[in-house]
Structure 1
Amino acid sequence: MQKTQRTTIKRVPQRANYDLPTIHKIIDEAYVCSLGFQNEDSVHVIPTVHWRIGNTLYIHGATKSRLIHCAISQSVCINITLLDGLVLARSAFHHSMNYRSLNIYGRGFQVVDAEKEDVLTTFVEKITPERIGEIRMMNKQELKATTVVGFNIEEAVAKIRTGPPVDDKEDYALPVWAGVIPLRLQQGEPVEDK
């Protein structure tokens, strides 16, 4: 992916990554993205579920929501962050986190007709693979109340931090534990709705 003015990382630029497979992997692993947009006199950031088909990221929402309206009518910024670990250093200043984050810039387009149903089916399969054959699909009224927006991934950058803390040389002599506490999203035991 080509670097643009908006995707140029200025702070710790060696953590920038423009590799499309890396970008796709972050999208696929995460369940939630946040969209930043301007509405009237305010800027908003709203989290929402997302999924990917090919080089397009999709979201969905109520047809009348401001998020959906703004995602189609203006350029937005989509952020995804995966937290991989807490980085505990020997000094307060060097504490950090290991993460994989991603910003995508662009204007969305509305997905309609049969493609809309196909894209929503992919969404359900991302959340729970092989569930499509067991559930009732959306009826006409539900489909009408739902808008699906796609974003072609043409302007994006990932920023990734990995590894141990980076302490000042003199701090390595301190009798303080330092290292990484790994973090991950994990599914628990299902709780049945009765």
Structure 2
Amino acid sequence: MSNDLTQTDRSRLRRFHELGAHDRATIHAILDAEPNCTVAYVMDGAPYLTPTLQWRVGERIYWHGSSASRAIKAGKGHRVCLNVTIVDGWVMARSGFNHSVNARSVTLFGMAEVVPEDQKAAHLTAFIEGMWPGRTSVLRPIQPQELKATTLLSMPIAEGSAKVRQGPPQDEPEDYALPIWAGVIPTARSVETPIPDARNLGGLEPPEHITAFCARGRS
């Protein structure tokens, strides 16, 4: 298997191509760092976008939704485009035109495939364990009706690209002499103190896998 994803006319970066990357290591790292994604597809001749959660297992990407969802029904066996974006900072330049965003993103193209019924429980468990290792050991078993109501889709990580921008603003040479503050405002998603459900049984404290997740989010 090649270390780089396949480059095609639709996956090749044309603007700011120097920010692009096709290597699997970069793409895997971005996918693993951000579960939120957007899936695009065409339904009844019109374009649609659906936000959902994704996770990676090896060289495949998975996402889920309701079996009754029009988006899920439209995605089965159809070509889709999936995007993950992480904003790392606001780039404040000396002109409005040169303002930018420090960000990491991945865009993948492929054919959505339905995960077989007998594999759904294992993949849902892998998703939860990937986020909160140890969580599934304390949960009640997944019920058959819950599996029936959930559809999982996947596609190979084969065609796509990453785009990564980091660093200070890139201003016009003459603009550096202007008395205008420029720089980067870093941004990050924080993990706060867990808020217990009011209907928790008495005496329950956040388990180790929750406190560990919060600690990782603050590091």
TM-score (norm 2): 0.85
1:134 Cα deviation (Å)? 1.0
1:94 Cα deviation (Å)? 0.7
Q: What are the ranges of 5 or more consecutive residues in structure 1 without an aligned counterpart?
A: none
State the partner residue of 2:104: 100
State the partner residue of 1:59: 63
Task: Specify the SS of the correspondent of 1:43.
Answer: strand
Q: Does residue 78 of the first structure (1) align with residue 82 of the second (2)?
A: yes
TM-score (norm 1): 0.96
Amino acid of the structure 2 residue aligned with 1:17? A
Q: Does residue 185 of the first structure (1) align with residue 194 of the second (2)?
A: no
Task: Specify the SS of the correspondent of 2:193.
Answer: coil
1:73 Cα deviation (Å)? 2.6
State the partner residue of 1:88: 92
1:149 to 146, 153, 156: 153
Count of equivalent residues: 194
State the partner residue of 1:14: 18
Structure 2 contact 77–114 (Cα < 8 Å) conserved:
no
**Which structure features the higher share of helix residues?**
2
Q: What are the ranges of 5 or more consecutive residues in structure 2 without an aligned counterpart?
A: 199-219
1:99-178 to 2 correspondences below 5 Å: 99-178=103-182
**Identity rate of aligned residues, in percent?**
40
1:92 Cα deviation (Å)? 1.2
Q: Distance in 2 between matches of 1:42 and 1:2?
A: 27
Q: Distance in 2 between matches of 1:40 and 1:113?
A: 27
State the partner residue of 1:48: 52
For residues 59-116 of structure 1, the C-alpha deviation after alignment (integer angstroms, 9 at most, x for no partner) is: 1111121221222231010011110110001111111000111110011111123421
**124-133 or 14-23, which moves further after superposition?**
124-133
